[in-house]
Amino acid sequence: IGLGDTLLEALHRNTSTDTAHAGLTMNGAKSNWRWTLTSNADLERDTTHTDRDALDAIRDRTLETTESGDIKATANGKLFSLPAGDVTSTITLAGTTTHLQSERRLLGVTDSNSLARTTGEAAMNLDVPISRRNRGFSALGNLSVNGNAEVDHLSDFGTLTVFGAGANWSPVDRLNLLASWTREEGPPTINQLGDPVLVTPGTRVFDFATGQTDIVTAITGGNPNLQSDVRHVWKLGGNWQPFEKTDLRLRAEYVHQTIDRPIEDLTITPTIERAFPGRFVRNASGQLVSVDLTPVNFESSENDTLRIGFDFSHPLKSHRPSQSVIDQMRAQFRSQFGLRGGAGGANGRPGAGQNVPTGSTGTPPNGAAPQSGSRQPGAMSSADAQQRGNEAQTGRPAGGGFRGGGGGRGGGFFGGGNRGRITFSLTDNITFVNRAIIAPGLPPIDYLHGDAAGQSGGTPRHNVQAQLGYFNNGLGARLTGNWRSGTTVNTLTGDRLSFSPLATFDLRLFANPGDIPELTVKHPWLRGTQVQLQVNNMFNMRPKVHDAAGNVPLNFQPDLLDPLGRTVMISFRKLFLPPTTWLQRQFQERQQQNR
């Protein structure tokens, strides 16, 4: 973590984390309503040991244990009908409980803290159609409005509310316009309130008041005096598909957000030091020796952004396995589920008297996921490309993981058809306003024009992301590029730090053996597996910072800003399904219901 002043040797910090998770999901339908019940239980234990800058000093230790559980019930369905369509509602009831136990040993003295929070939630959303094409009332095209309300009661913060409203209008085919407003009260997390205080000696920080890099004692952790914030968010957006037969969508969304009492982490700037002088300690020569960086409430903040881009998607024809492979797959399917019948007719169709499904709605064999409504891992439709923009970074395939079956519609049970897909998307996030007021009477902090949002500089005007994806015949690739514009930060000495633009590229290559019939008939255990190679920051690019004279401050050395650079990860995943006897029983019950 740094270099000790007394011992002149490296000081170390060791952190270990243990986690456990259990989850349950149930769903069903009753009349015109569908319901879902989910429950989760989590346990996390974090232990941190920190060296002291003294001979034979006892290491500082912090121990934090977080226990949490939640249960959530959701029901959605039709309330009544209007000329333009059905009025639908979603009702949610939920409860969560969290317990945080922390213990700190500093200079041989031990103290502890315990926090608990229980939350009850009740929410309702209402969708009302106003006009719809090809219905009795269609003058406005497709128009619907919605409203939502939520009440949360927190054991340690009282009652908080969320209100929102919106409209969705499609005046003509392939053009959608959306508008929404939300007011939300948000409490600080239990970690922001009660995390144990960490005292880290030998921490390098850049002092924007003096333009120098100092070695200080940094104090981090929770702040029990935090207040809840209040967010007001306006959104206006739209998407347009200019060509009927080409899956190309243009999209734009403007967001205006204001926050009262936002919760912020502190940076070491002159304006923040004037607002919180007690958090900064300097010696007689004016050099920083200690900073308290625990979170605080600012007076207010404002943020205006525009997100524009497009998504393109094109289906690819997939390879169809040979008839002999199809016959072997049928034989394995019948053997697993205890079915009887011939080998099937030509062209992959079952023989007389067989109940083997061959369409996309059938039950797949031996661990393959259901075809209906599924997506190819790595394939991305134009409508949800934006929502899965971080897929390459997380290593999670699109459409819900690493299913062995999968596949788009039209391919059928045994491949072929247009099951593959190539996609491309480009998005530019443009920030017009990003400023905050720390306290009444102080000038605003403008993160776009010279103020620091952190040790990484100000807020870039542009953040651009491009994604290119391919998936077909069980093989896929995704290339993601990210670019951000440069920023500048002013100091009290009149010097200016320049943060250069940065472009990085990430590559993900993966194979789903379960989507390659020639492999799975020989090695059935490969169904439900995925092999993946992921390379982040392919070209080992790092941020570059320099002052007016071209010098690089010590704290902004490229290797300190990004210690990892290029990383390579290889992973193998396997989906395990219930025993064959259970699958047989479920299949037989479904067959009886169909009869």
Concatenating the DSSP letter of every residue in 162-231 gives EEEEEEEEESSTTEEEEEEEEEEEEPPPHHHHHPPPEEEEEEEEEETTTTEEEEEEEEES--TT---EEE
Query: How is residue 8 written in tokens?
Result: 């002149």
Give the pLDDT confidence of 180-232 residue by residue, as tens digits.
999 999 999 988 988 888 888 888 888 888 888 899 999 999 999 999 999 99
Give the pLDDT confidence of 510-554 residue by residue, as tens digits.
999 888 888 888 888 888 899 999 999 999 999 999 988 899 988
User: Which of 321-335, 372-386, 484-498 is predicted with the least confidence, judged by mean pLDDT?
Assistant: 372-386
Report the 10 Å Cβ neighbour count for 27: 10
pLDDT band at 488 (very low <50, low <70, confident <90, very high): very high
Please give the average per-residue pLDDT across 240-260, as a whole number: 97
pLDDT over 50 (residue 404): no
pLDDT band at 319 (very low <50, low <70, confident <90, very high): confident
How many domains does one find in the chain?
Answer: 1
The answer to whether residue 548 sits within a structural domain is: no
* pTM of the model as a whole: 0.78
pLDDT over 70 (residue 505): yes
Report the 10 Å Cβ neighbour count for 590: 11
pLDDT at 340: 56
d(C-alpha 43, C-alpha 65), whole Å: 7
Residue with the bigger pLDDT between 381 and 444: it is 444
Residue with the bigger pLDDT between 378 and 146: it is 146
The answer to whether residue 570 sits within a structural domain is: no
Query: How is residue 337 written in tokens?
Result: 């589920």
Residue with the bigger pLDDT between 386 and 498: it is 498
d(C-alpha 392, C-alpha 224), whole Å: 37
Burial class (CB in 10 A: 0-12, 13-18, 19+), 330: buried
Q: List beta partners, residue 469.
A: 423, 478
pLDDT band at 381 (very low <50, low <70, confident <90, very high): very low
Give the pLDDT confidence of 60-113 residue by residue, as tens digits.
888 889 999 999 999 999 999 998 899 999 999 999 999 989 888 777 778 888
* DSSP string covering 554-575: GGG-HHHH-SS-SEEEEEEEE-
Please give the average per-residue pLDDT across 384-407, as a whole number: 39
| pLDDT above 70: percentage of residues in the chain | 83
The answer to whether residue 303 sits within a structural domain is: no
The answer to whether residue 301 sits within a structural domain is: no
First to last CA, the chain: 69
Residue with the bigger pLDDT between 352 and 328: it is 328
d(C-alpha 37, C-alpha 594), whole Å: 26
pLDDT at 376: 38
The answer to whether residue 217 sits within a structural domain is: no
pLDDT over 60 (residue 391): no
pLDDT at 527: 83
Query: How many Cα atoms are found within 13 Å in the side-chain-facing hemisphere of 580?
Result: 9
The answer to whether residue 396 sits within a structural domain is: no
* 402, 529 contact by CB (below 8 A): yes
Task: Please provide the average confidence, as pLDDT, over all residues in the chain.
Answer: 83
pLDDT over 90 (residue 314): yes
User: In Å, what is the CA distance from 574 to each residue of 16, 236, 401, 482?
Assistant: 27, 42, 10, 30
Query: How is residue 523 written in tokens?
Result: 């090695």
Query: How many Cα atoms are found within 13 Å in the side-chain-facing hemisphere of 532?
Result: 24
pLDDT at 173: 92
Query: How is residue 493 written in tokens?
Result: 């000495």
The answer to whether residue 130 sits within a structural domain is: yes
pLDDT band at 33 (very low <50, low <70, confident <90, very high): very high
Burial class (CB in 10 A: 0-12, 13-18, 19+), 244: exposed
pLDDT at 337: 62
Query: How is residue 402 written in tokens?
Result: 């690493």
d(C-alpha 407, C-alpha 377), whole Å: 8
Range of the domain at 151: 11-188
pLDDT over 80 (residue 364): no
pLDDT at 6: 52
* DSSP string covering 108-129: TEEEEEEEEEEEEEEEEEEEEE
The answer to whether residue 18 sits within a structural domain is: yes
User: In Å, what is the CA distance from 181 to each residue of 123, 165, 230, 255?
Assistant: 16, 5, 13, 10
Closest by Cα among 495, 529, 533 to 404: 529
pLDDT band at 5 (very low <50, low <70, confident <90, very high): low
